[in-house]
Structure 1
Amino acid sequence: MSTTFGSPRPDAAAYMMRAAASAAGRSYKQELIQLLDVQLGQTALDVGCGPGTDLPTLAERVGVSGTVIGVDRDPVMLAEARRRTSELPAVQIREADVHALPVEPGTVDRAKIDRVLMHVNDPAAVLEQLHLATRPGARIGLAEPDWDTLVVDAEDLDTSRAFTRYTASEVVRHATIGRSLARYAQQAGFTIETVRATTPVFLDFQDADHTLGLGRNMQQAVQDGYIAEVRGRRWFTSLFEKPFFASFTLVTVICSR
């Protein structure tokens, strides 16, 4: 197929930084940090910290007497996180798989996992690790999308629905983790305090194509024989010929140890 079928797959670090800088990204992240209620002198853990977009904010909250630990397994992400926090002595960057957190048991006061559980092998095991790492009274913030709720407006509603089904069944490992967050957290031993759902809205086609992978995921759906090429191209072309709308549900869970 032509490589012009939507925007190319972006660099992972650049993708995460752009998503975090978007209006939708800033909104839910600010709410997540606010609900996390990080205090001076605490130890805060960012599980799957990626390029470190949230580490400076956490460092500001814990102050010079606190500690921020960012954990990720991707060397490219970690290099960017180290660059971003090189002048922040409170921040420690640790390379590890989130299924085996490099943190002493019972030492973490605040922790967050943001759009990470949808990608891991075993979300329940990661939350069990987090329960082990946190101390009694700790507060934990979790945020994950539910890709089964993805909607893309198009006159060809059947193809839009087929695209969402493909995304949820083939593209994302745990596509419905958002709706299951509270259940997973409770099963790991946490007490649920707050559950919120927000709906990021995309009115700009280019922004949506980059963030939601409209073109590249449709191309993969066509290559996999899930959607016919003519049908997929007609649907994709129609998206930028008319006013655009797409959205999905993102779930935030605040819980305590």
Structure 2
Amino acid sequence: MSQLTSVDQIAYLDAAAATTIGRHYKRRAVDALDLRPGHAVVDVGCGPGTDLGRLADAVRPDGLVVGVDRDGRMLAEAARRVAGRSGIDLRAGDAHGLPLDDASMDRVRIDRVLMHVDDPATVLAQVRRVLRPGGVLAVTEPDWDTLAVADDDVETSRRFARFVAGRVRNPTVGRDLVRLSVRAGLRVRSVEAIAVVFEDFGTADRILGLRRNSACAVTAGELTDTDAQAWLGRLTAGPSLASFTLYLVTAEAA
């Protein structure tokens, strides 16, 4: 959910998916797709294949799940995880030019990918292209401008939140999903705002990078080392609370 080096991306994605809120919103997103046996579904930016098995189970016995990712390391890990599974096809490709035929998919799933792409509007136009009439998109994206960390030093928390948001290419794409979907020619069916809340320092640190990102903020001159260390000390001692908003939008191709 936050900016990472390529070395630890897979471990990070696994950790985020294993949290209580990660399991909750992923289940909500799959439920929103209303998958049926025989459906063809594409997971755009499938990463290490975290959710491919769940999608494949929902469209068995004769459905198809296509996992698309531009990162060869992610696809290799996905291939390892789904080895021996039928009905799963992994393809190298960019979300801005999906390697799929027009009107070939019943369902499209996007999970925290648009915040990283060069042009979310182009990606959603591609989604509209590959969806069959009546096909459904379920897209989940954060709004990093809603990040809040509770502490007596409100200004340091605000500076930290602004720094984290500034490191994401499209930090507010979550709130823009409805507008972008409509412009792509999709009809929005539902919008859900999911509060992502961390009540212990360890989990918040793993997912939000409290230590890592505050150190980067110090290096960038956005925080002083004194303020950052005092802030982290209080957060570590607890009680701890951090949160942001995740948007789940479901849309349909006319």
**Are 1:148 and 2:145 matched, yes or no?**
yes
Please tell me whether residue 91 in structure 1 is matched to residue 52 in structure 2. Answer: no
Aligned to 1:121: 118
Measure, in 2, the Cα distance between the counterparts of 1:117 and 1:221: 24
Question: Residue 83 of structure 1: CA displacement?
Answer: 1.1
1:36 aligns with 2:30: no
User: Which residue of the partner structure matches residue 236 of structure 2?
Assistant: 240
> What is the rounded CA distance, in whole Å, between the counterparts of 2:12 and 2:70 in structure 1?
17
Match of 2:177 in 1: 181
Matched, 1:73 2:77: no
Any conservation in 2 of the 1:13–1:76 contact (CA below 8 Å)? Answer: no
| RMSD (Å) for aligned C-alpha atoms | 1.2
Where does residue 228 of structure 1 map in the other structure?
Answer: 224
Please name the residue that 1:158 is paired with: 155
Residues 101-125 of structure 1, C-alpha deviation per residue, up to 9 Å, x if partnerless? 0001110000110000000111111
Q: Secondary structure at the match of 2:216?
A: helix
For structure 2, the residue ranges without an aligned partner over 5 or more in a row are: none
Secondary structure of 2:129's counterpart equals helix
Aligned amino acid, residue 141 of structure 1:
A
3-state SS of 2:41 partner: strand
Distance in 2, Cα, partners of 1:213 & 1:122? 26
TM-score normalized with structure 1 length? 0.94
Q: Is the 8 A contact 1:117 1:177 kept in 2?
A: yes
Could you list the per-position Cα deviations for residues 186-239 of structure 1 after superposition, in whole angstroms to 9, with x for gaps in the alignment?
111100000000111111111111101111111111111111121112112221
- Which amino acid in the other structure matches residue 119 of structure 1? H
- Shift of residue 144 of structure 1? 0.4
Using the alignment, how far apart are the partners of 2:211 and 2:132 within structure 1?
A: 44
CA distance in 1, matches of 2:96, 2:116: 12
Whichever residue aligns with residue 46 of structure 1, its letter is D
Alignment pair present for 1:58 and 2:55: yes
CA displacement, residues 115-166 of structure 1 (integer Å, 9 cap, x when unaligned): 0000011111111111111111101000001111111111101100111111
Match of 1:193 in 2: 189
1:214 aligned onto 2:217: no
- 3-state SS in 2 of match to 1:199: strand
Residue 11 of structure 1 aligns to a residue in which SS?
helix
Q: Is the 8 A contact 1:20 1:26 kept in 2?
A: yes
Instruction: Give the Å deviation of 1:241.
Output: 1.3
Indicate yes or no: 2:63 matched with 1:100: no
Q: Distance in 2 between matches of 1:200 and 1:225?
A: 28
Over residues 30-83 of structure 1, what are the superposed CA-to-partner deviations in whole Å (9 max), with x where a residue is unaligned?
A: 011011101110100000000111100110111121110000011111111111
Q: TM-score, normalised by structure 2?
A: 0.95
2:130 equivalent in structure 1 = 133
SS in 1 for 2:139: strand
Confirm whether residue 254 of structure 1 aligns to residue 247 of structure 2.
no
Aligned residue type for 1:244: S
- Distance, in Å, in 2 between the alignment partners of 1:138 and 1:50 is 23
Q: Give the share of equivalent positions with the same residue, in percent.
A: 45
State the number of aligned residues: 249
- Kept after mapping to 2: 8 A contact 1:117/1:123: yes
**Aligned equivalents of 2:105 and 2:200: distance in 1?**
40
CA distance in structure 1 between the partners assigned to 2:115 and 2:189 by the alignment: 21
